[in-house]
A and B are shown apart, each in its own frame.
Chain A
Amino acid sequence: MPSLAGLFFWMNEKLENIKKLKVSNSLKLDCGKTIKNFPLAYETYGKLNSNKDNAILVFHALTGDQFVAGTNPITNKNGWWVTAVGPGKAIDTNKYFVICANVIGGCMGSLGPRNINPETNQPYGLDFPVITIKDMVRAQESLLEHLGIKKLLCATGGSMGGMQLLQFCSTFPDKTFSAIPIACSTSHSAQNIALNELARQSIMADPVWDNGKYFLKNVQPKNGLAVARMVGHISYLSEKGMQEKFGRKLQEKADYEFSFNADFQVESYLRHQGYAFVERFDANSILYITRAMDYFDLSKQFKGGLTEAFKGQRTKFLVISFSSDWLYTTKNNKDIVIALNAAGANVSYSEIVTDKGHDSFLLDELNFLKTLKGFIDSMYEKFKNEK
């Protein structure tokens, strides 16, 4: 394995070769600052047909990126949503043109805290402006323009991807024929914010983090970042799912070691997930993206009325939740349905019964994938007929 510093260099090299749109329009961010001429990294799968009516936009979650399907060329691992997207999959890339962009604030090629600040000629670090979900979404609008798509067949996303989607539908009400928000919420609860704060504090408590200036030494606060990832992983699983997967099983040993090594399988799992993560993600990006999630409050943008956010929607919605998801609960998702109903929007809703928690949307969850496929295929027929 290359050293961490070497690894970053190697990753940056690879990032040179991915699809990037130089967004020339200036974008005034919610915080008041303006960005312009910034890179937006993206990937596409399948082919856009001549009618341009088979495009599906996917918004990624906190630690996701634009590499939805196939093999991620940077990590050489599977794309984060291979269970759902690909040839013959629920979102069939033989039939549909799938687009996904890396969010701004991220670290997979779009403008983020690791990019060079033209004013200092050094990476931004904490000089990067605090961004919001709305900023992320507005930054992606120019990509649709660039690809020549007036109206998407469908837009979808789980978790923070779902938040982006709700914002997208609210800000650009005529840009998509249908929408599938999955396991998300219109605002973070105190518990959601608390968990994100735990992730941020663990990064900031790592002395290597050095107020976000670790890049000067070409290092990464990997201990803090790994703990941040562990917090995330706990919140993505349900209690029952975790109990069934790990229980009190010991990690390749017959009895306790009477030490603080990873005796339990669950400890070993968390450590593995945590330290694998530091190889592909930037610590400052976690700070910025979790902040964007915490600030997200769709009803606040409309003076407390969520119904207002969806007023006049002609998009056909399918909201999906998972019964054992305690991060973005069935109730959170039902509140979206209620607001859409109150706004007179066309909405379907399904709660998938599963023990697998918030992570379910990334897994091979048959009923979920069937529902996804059924909705998209039927929407495609309707969209074609409408045109």
Chain B
Amino acid sequence: MKNEFKVIANLLSENTRVLDVGCGDGSLMSLLEKEKGIEVRGLEIDQTNVQKCIHKGLSVIQGNAETELHQFPDRSFDYVILSQTLQAFYDPSKVMNELLRIGKSVIVSIPNFGFWKVRLKLLLFGKMPVTKTLPNTWYNTPNLHMCTIKDLFIFCDEKSIKIKKVIGINEDKTSYIKKSNLEIKNLFSKVGIFLIG
């Protein structure tokens, strides 16, 4: 189980309604359903993944989050989760608005482009960094809008989106991120998880 999923699961209260956008093969959904009794729905673009979710008895809708979030009514979920996909949309800002419309709260995780190894690789080698969290090269990466934890902080500030909690993950270690420790955590977190809305 990805550490990220455990962190996300801990952010959620029991008996809530959750929409997992880009739910993949349903690993997080299964975890939430089994361990927290959460009523969870998924949106997933890939047919094979959709099939896997259905086999697990999970409710999943095949569709593209970029264009098909409009089908969910306003505030129809307690939480909407978007795990490491925000950077892959053509228009992340528009998707973010949709997530905030559908969910009373939104959990967004991002691969942190501000992680020290990423910065160092670009600085030392002058090439777009390829790491475990960012395994693709510049020409085949699905990540169109890479950003750092700090960038997302600024984004939320500018759009007046309320930040409730931010958690940084580096391997097994997790830590809360606040404005006071943002610079250092932005350097040492591989993944940032934002609870907003």
Contacts and interface: CB of A to CB of B under 8 A. Distances in A.
Contact of B59 (A346, A351, A371): A346
B123 interface: no
Contacts of B55: 374-375, 377-378
B37 to A, nearest CB: 13
Contact of B47 (A348, A353, A381): A353
A23 interface: no
Contacts of B57: 378-379, 381-382
A338 B53 CA distance: 19
A-side interface mostly: helix
A149 B56 CA distance: 27
Contacts of B135: none
A337 interface: yes
B71 A337 contact: yes
Contacts of A381: 57
A375 B73 contact: no
B59 A347 contact: yes
Interface string A226-247: 0000000000000000000000
A348 B71 contact: no
Contacts, number: 59
B62 A350 contact: yes
A371 B51 contact: yes
Interface string A359-385: 000000001001100110111011000
A375 to B, nearest CB: 5
Given A371-B54, A375-B54, A378-B55, A351 B71 contact: no
Contacts of A341: 61, 71-73, 76
B108 interface: no
Contacts of B58: 348
Contacts of B54: 318, 348, 350, 371, 374-375, 378
Contacts of B41: 346
A280 interface: no
Interface in B44-77: 47, 50-51, 53-63, 71-73, 76
Contact of B71 (A338, A352, A370, A374): A338
A338 B63 CA distance: 12
A351 B56 contact: no
Nearest to A323: B47
B57 to A, nearest CB: 3
A344 B51 CA distance: 22
Nearest to B39: A346
A129 B73 CA distance: 41
Contacts of A370: 51
Interface string A315-353: 010100000000000000010011001101011111111
Contacts of A316: 59
Q: For B50, B54, B62, B72, which residue has the most chain A Cβ atoms within 10 angstroms? A: B54
Contacts of B56: 378
B51 A374 contact: yes
Contacts of B50: 348, 350, 371
Nearest to A345: B59
* Residue with the highest number of chain B CB atoms closer than 10 Å, among A316, A347, A382: A347
A384 to B, nearest CB: 12
B150 to A, nearest CB: 36
B73 A351 contact: no
Contacts of A382: 57
Interface in B66-111: 71-73, 76
Contacts of B60: 348-349
B59 A342 contact: no
A342 B76 CA distance: 9
A348 B61 contact: yes
Contact of A349 (B61, B72, B76): B61
A337 B59 contact: no
A341 B68 CA distance: 12
Contacts of A350: 47, 50-51, 54, 62
Given A370-B51, A378-B57, A381-B57, A349 B73 contact: no
Contacts of A367: 47, 51
Given A341-B73, A370-B51, 13 more contacts: A334-B63, A342-B73, A347-B61, A348-B53, A348-B54, A348-B59, A350-B47, A351-B47, A374-B54, A374-B55, A375-B54, A378-B54, A378-B55
Top 9 A-B residue pairs of the complex, sorted by shortest distance between their CB atoms? A378-B57, A374-B55, A338-B71, A349-B61, A374-B54, A350-B62, A348-B59, A350-B50, A375-B54
13 contacts: A338-B71, A344-B76, A348-B53, A348-B59, A349-B60, A350-B62, A351-B62, A367-B51, A375-B54, A378-B54, A378-B57, A379-B57, A381-B57
Interface of B: 41, 47, 50-51, 53-63, 71-73, 76
